[in-house]
Amino acid sequence: RPRAETATVVLAPGDGIGPEITLATCQILEAAGAAVRFEPIEVGEACYRQGVSSGIPEDAWSAIRQRRVLLKGPITTPQGGGYKSLNVTLRKSLGLFANVRPCRSWHPVLPSRHPEMDLVVVRENEEDTYAGIEHRQTAEVTQCLKLISRPASERIVRYAFELARAQGRPKVTCMTKDNIMKVTDGLFHRVFDEIAGDYPEIAADHRIIDIGTALLADRPEQFDVVVTPNLYGDIISDVAAQITGSVGLGGSANIGDGFAMFEAVHGSAPDIAGQDIANPSGMLLAACEMLRYLDDGATADRIECAWMRTLEEGAHTADIFRAGHSRERLGTRSFAERVCRNLDTAP
Ligand code: NAD
C-alpha cells in the first residue's frame, strides 16, 4: 500500500456524467487541501472510437501501473454486443479482487424508512459469469460459463470477515444460489462456512440470493457485511444504494494487492449527461475512501463533514430532492461549490 505525503493518483473522468462528477469531486478535494495530485488519463468511449479495442491506451496502462491508485468515473459499455467492459478488464488485469460497497442510511438528513441501515457489500470482483467465458454454440444457442474457484472464494470471504473484524461489525451474511448451482455456488458457500470458523466472535449466516435480496430491500437494517459472488453483489449493491436514497449516493473501492481503484457504484447515466444535474456524492464518497487508503483520513473526514452539512442545509441534487424536506435544488457544479464553502466550517 502506497504511503504518501502527496500521492499522485491516476484520474479517469469516464463517460456520460463521469466528467461532471469527477470535476466536482476534484474541486472539493483540492479545496480541502487533500494530499493528492492527479495524473489525468483518457479511457473509454473516445478511445474505442479511436480504435483502441480495450478502451485503455498504452499510455493509460503505464500511468496506472506506475501510480497504482486510480479514481475513475463511470464508463459506458454497450449492451448485448460491441466492445468488452473496460471495468471488467481493469478489475481483472489489476487483480482487484474485492469490490467493497458501503451503503448506509443518512437519516434524518435524508429521511429514510430504514434509519438503522448500515451495511457493506463485499463482492468478489474477478470470477463468476464476469469471467467472460461466453460463446455461441449454434445460431440459436448461446452459453456463458460461471467460474468459481476455491482460492478466489477463500480470499474474498476472508476479506469480508477481516473487514467485519476491523470495523467492529458483528455479522457476515453470505448470499448464493447453491440450491440450484450446487457445484459453483455450493463451493462458495462451503468455503464461507469453513472460514467463518476462524472468526468465532462474528456471527455468520447464509441466505439464498433471491430471498436475501427481498429481505435486504424490506429490512436492510438486519444486514451488516454481505459477501457474494460477482453478479449477485453487483445487483444487491445497486439495490442497497437506491434504498439509501439514490444510486447517486453510493461509492465503492476495488481493492487488490498493491493496486486500488475507486469509483461510484452507478453507471454513466447517459440520460442525464451534460445537464449539470448529476449527483456527485457517490464519486465524492469513493474519493474519500481513496484518501483513507492513502492515509489521509483526516481530510476525508473533513470533506464528509462538509458534505453532510450541505445535505443538512437541504441543498440537494435532483435525485434526492424531496418536496417538503429539501430546500434548494442544486446542480452538480453548485452542489460542489456549496460543499467547498462548507469546508470552512468543518472541523
Ligand atoms: P446508471 O447507473 O448509469 O443509471 C441508472 C439511473 O440512475 C438513470 O436514470 C440515471 O440517470 C440515474 N443515476 C445514475 N447515477 C446518477 C447520479 N450520480 N445522479 C443522479 N442520477 C443518477 O445505469 P444504466 O443506465 O443501466 O447504465 C448506463 C451505462 O453505465 C451503461 O453503459 C453501463 O454499462 C454503464 N455502467 C458503468 C459502470 C462503471 O463504470 N462502474 C457501472 C454500472 C453501469
Q: Where residue 1 falls among pLDDT bands split at 50, 70, 90?
A: very low
Length of the chain: 347
Mean per-residue pLDDT, 193-198 = 98
Please work out, in degrees rounded to the nearest 5, the angle formed at the alpha carbon of residue 28 by the alpha carbons of 264 and 310: 85
- What pLDDT shows up at residue 80? 80
C-alpha dist (Å) from residue 33 to 53, 322, 345: 37, 32, 14
CB of residue 73 inside a 6 A radius of ligand 1: no
pLDDT digits (tens, 9 = 90+) for 18-57: 999 999 999 999 999 999 999 999 999 999 889 888 899 9
Task: Dump pLDDT digits (tens) for 108-139.
Answer: 999 899 999 999 999 999 999 988 788 999 99
pLDDT digits (tens, 9 = 90+) for 203-252: 999 999 999 999 999 999 999 999 999 999 999 999 999 999 999 999 99
Whether 295 is a known active-site residue: answer: no
Nearest to 278 by CA among 339, 331, 241: 331
pLDDT of residue 141: 97
Show the DSSP H helices in 174-250 as ranges: 184-196, 209-218, 230-243
Q: In what order do the strands lie in the sheet with 118-124?
A: 36-40, 7-12, 69-72, 260-264, 251-255, 98-104, 118-124, 225-228, 171-176, 203-208
d(CA 345, CA 133): 52
* Confidence band for 2, pLDDT divided at 50, 70 and 90: very low
Q: Mean of the per-residue pLDDT values for the chain?
A: 95
- Name the band, by pLDDT with cuts 50, 70 and 90, for residue 85: confident
Q: What angle do CA 161, 167, 169 make, to 5 degrees?
A: 65
Answer yes or no: is the C-beta of 70 below 6 A from any ligand 1 atom.
no
Q: What is the DSSP letter of 177?
A: -
193 assigned to active site: no
Using only C-alpha atoms, the chain has a radius of gyration, in whole angstroms, of 20
Torsion of CA 168, 227, 90, 38, to 10 degrees: -20
User: Among this protein's residues, is 344 annotated catalytic?
Assistant: no
Average pLDDT over residues 93-113: 94
- 77, three cell numbers: 459499455
> Does the C-beta of 237 come closer than 6 Å to ligand 1?
no
CA–centroid distance, residue 220 to ligand 1 (Å) = 22
Å from CA of 269 to ligand 1 middle = 4
Q: How far apart are the C-alpha atoms of 130 and 336, rounded to whole Å?
A: 35
* Residue 255, H or E segment: strand 251-255
CA distances from 264 to 40, 92, 129, 213, 250 (A): 17, 18, 22, 21, 6
Residue 238 is among the residues annotated as catalytic for this protein: yes
Share of the chain above pLDDT 90, in %: 88
pLDDT confidence of residue 53? 87
Q: Is the pLDDT of residue 146 over 90?
A: yes
Q: Which of 72-86, 106-120, 143-157, 178-192 has the lowest mean pLDDT?
A: 72-86
Diameter of the chain measured on Cα atoms? 64
- Can you give the pLDDT at residue 18? 98
pTM for this prediction:
0.95
What is the 335 CA–ligand 1 centroid distance (Å)? Answer: 19
Tell me what pLDDT residue 344 has: 86
